[in-house]
Amino acid sequence: MIVREYEKDGSTGHKVPLMLMGGIIAISLALTASVTLGFMPKQSVPAEARAAAGIKADAERTLRFFDEPDGTVRIEDGATGEVLARHGVGEGGFIRATVRSLVHQRRIRGQGAEVPFTLTRWENGGLTLFDPVTRRGVEVSSFGPDNRAVYADLLPDAEAAR
């Protein structure tokens, strides 16, 4: 239909981009259908892959995150209230981003900050920041060694976490 509109105007140069866009859409739909119908394997869910492999938690700590009036993010141990780290304005961008995404999910559900998040180091070296309220988590290790190290430092025995 769109191609015919261009033909009426005498402009035929736009057919190729339209056909390419249609091809991309068709390929995307075919790939999606092939995964949905089981012709191609789905990507593994990290929690399911760990359970299937029998990987257990190596270290764990509950964490609470607070925004202070000056823009600093304060991180406390969820059990003891011990201040573990502070990230001033312009610092701790990865922590800010990951926590904001999880907090956003809590707000959507009308939940507050009563329940702390859980940071887990797995036997295979992976790190997960998990929200027990929304049952969502972030595989911190997937974001590279520098970002992983920021969270690894929050665990007890931080040297073993690196």
Low-confidence ranges of the chain (pLDDT < 50): 159-162
| pLDDT at res. 87 | 86
CA 106 – CA 132 distance, rounded (Å) = 10
CA 56 – CA 124 distance, rounded (Å) = 8
CA 122 – CA 12 distance, rounded (Å) = 59
| pLDDT at res. 8 | 58
What φ, ψ does residue 8 adopt, rounded to 5°? -65, -35
Render the burial of 64-86: b for 16+ CB within 10 Å, e for the rest.
bbeeeeeeebebbbbeeeeebbe
> Is there a contact between 66 and 74 (Cβ–Cβ < 8 Å)?
yes
CA 162 – CA 158 distance, rounded (Å) = 7
| pLDDT at res. 160 | 45
| pLDDT at res. 49 | 77
Q: What is the pTM of this model?
A: 0.66
Render the burial of 24-45: b for 16+ CB within 10 Å, e for the rest.
eeeeeeeeeeeeeeeeeeeeee
